[in-house]
Amino acid sequence: MRYCFFRMGLDHPGVQEWFGGMYESMFAALRRCGHDVILSLDAPDVSCDVLVVPMGGGQDRTTARAMAAFPGPVVVYAPSARSWFRTDYLRRWRDRLVLAYGTDASDFSAESYASLGIPYLHLPFASDPEVMHPLDVETCHDVVFVGNANSGTGRYRFIDELVGRVGKERLLLIGPGWERYDVHPRSMAWGPDLNKVYAQSRVCVNLHNDEQCLGGDVQEDANNRLFDLAMAGRPQVSNAPLVVERYFAPDEVLAYSDPGEWADAVERLLQDPVAASSLGMAARTRALRDHTWDARARVLSEAISNAVGVSAGATRGGWSVMRMRDTLLPPYSSGELVAKVARRLRRVMGRGTVIR
């Protein structure tokens, strides 16, 4: 089967930097499953059997244009339904949509898509053992966290606690938003250099945003770092234990919801390198068994094949004025637009930014 992945946000330089390498690993895994994979940043390749499109994050209009240009079945890569679920928009394109998949494990996402007759596949992130793996290098950092402080709420609580315990000079923070700790904002692309930074650290910490761990009935969304640190064989202390326990046992990844307990665990591992090494190797063993992109590719390709098979021969809806509207305008009602602008203004004012 021939898949055309449309943009997937990779036309944005920041997304390309962080997620581009991961998509390359995923595409390579799908090819090993026997599929042809094309990434299109412009127009979809109409010679493909299936179009895969992203939803949410301001991409709905360009996604509608891609679906309008593509004659075949469409698979949706979706954020959590709590973050994005446009009922009217999805209903207008329902006859084209054979499957939705995403990293959110909550019942809410599955039930939201089921309400429109669209099957939903929980497909968590994974990692690539050819990129993330143990290295025989000297450790030069005590604790490292590579991540964005601005991508959601809750991370400062944990970092504040840790800085109070070990001091900011023992903590390497890489990413935007850490200026309060005198850290110059910078980013690091996913790939071998990131793996080296992990390998040079005695303990690696992982933080999910509050929004990612609201519970199995609302949103439960493991980040990619959980799997990358495990695949790299690094001792990892994470927050969001209810999220982590879906994928790793307590003797593979330590996880605590309380910042004090979380920082306690970091200190224990710093004092016990043997236990830290054992934790990291156990996590890698689990990641190699269950959380490779090859494993995810097998699940996704089977789900797509089944969904396309079920939809074969289904009647496709014709063109409509409202579908044309989706290709020209964002799919928001006037009330939603007012609320969206108000939220944006509150965020800007909260940062103390002058609105011009």
What is the rounded (10 degree) CA torsion for 60, 64, 65, 67? 130
The CATH 3.40.50.2000 portion of the chain extends over 141-290
Among residues 91, 53, 43, 59, which one has the least CA distance to residue 73? 53
Task: Encode pLDDT of 86-95 as tens digits.
Answer: 999 999 999 9
Alpha helices in 232-292 (DSSP H): 241-244, 259-271, 273-290
Can you tell me the distance from the alpha carbon of 302 to that of 287, in angstroms, rounded to the nearest whole number? 21
Mean local confidence (pLDDT), 288-293: 98
Residue 212 has pLDDT above 50, yes or no: yes
Burial class (CB in 10 A: 0-12, 13-18, 19+), 139: exposed
Mean local confidence (pLDDT), 256-270: 98
Let me know how long the chain is: 356
More confident residue, 339 or 144: 144
Alpha helices in 81-139 (DSSP H): 87-92, 107-114
Mean local confidence (pLDDT), 306-316: 75
Residue 81 per-residue DSSP state: T
Residue in the structure block whose two tokens are 């010679």: 47
Tokens at 181, concatenated:
């700790």
Q: What pTM was computed for the model?
A: 0.91
* 222 touches 244 (CB < 8 A): yes
Tokens at 115, concatenated:
């309400």
Q: What is the DSSP string of 14-54?
A: HHHHHHHHHHHHHHHHHHHTT-EEEEESSS--TTSSEEEEE
Q: Which helix H or strand E contains 2, and what residues bound it?
A: strand 2-6
* 205 touches 238 (CB < 8 A): yes
Burial class (CB in 10 A: 0-12, 13-18, 19+), 87: exposed
Can you tell me the distance from the alpha carbon of 205 to that of 113, in angstroms, rounded to the nearest whole number? 34
CA dihedral over 263, 264, 269, 272, signed as positive or negative: positive
The residues, any chain, with a CB within 8 Å of residue 19's CB and separated by 6 or more, are: 8, 9, 10, 190, 224
Coil, helix or strand at residue 323: helix
Reported confidence tier of residue 355, pLDDT bands at 50, 70, 90 = very low
Mean pLDDT value across the chain: 92
Buried b (16+ CB within 10 A) or exposed e, 183-203: beeeeeebbeebbebbbebbb
More confident residue, 324 or 194: 194
HSE toward the beta carbon, residue 49, CA cutoff 13 A: 14
The residues, any chain, with a CB within 8 Å of residue 161's CB and separated by 6 or more, are: 259, 260, 262, 263
Among residues 154, 80, 84, which one has the least CA distance to residue 124? 80
| CATH number 3.30.1120 is the correct assignment for the domain at 2-126+293-346 | no
Mean local confidence (pLDDT), 208-213: 95
> What is the structure's pLDDT at 252?
98
Residue 256: how many CB atoms within 10 A of its CB? 19
Can you tell me the distance from the alpha carbon of 88 to that of 320, in angstroms, rounded to the nearest whole number? 13
Task: Encode pLDDT of 2-55 as tens digits.
Answer: 999 999 999 999 899 989 999 999 999 999 999 999 999 999 999 999 999 999
Q: Which helix H or strand E contains 142, and what residues bound it?
A: strand 141-146
Residue 283 has pLDDT above 50, yes or no: yes
141-290 sits in which CATH class?
Answer: alpha beta
Can you tell me the distance from the alpha carbon of 103 to that of 172, in angstroms, rounded to the nearest whole number? 28
Residue 164: how many CB atoms within 10 A of its CB? 12
> What is the structure's pLDDT at 340?
62
Query: What single-letter amino acid sits at 88?
Result: D
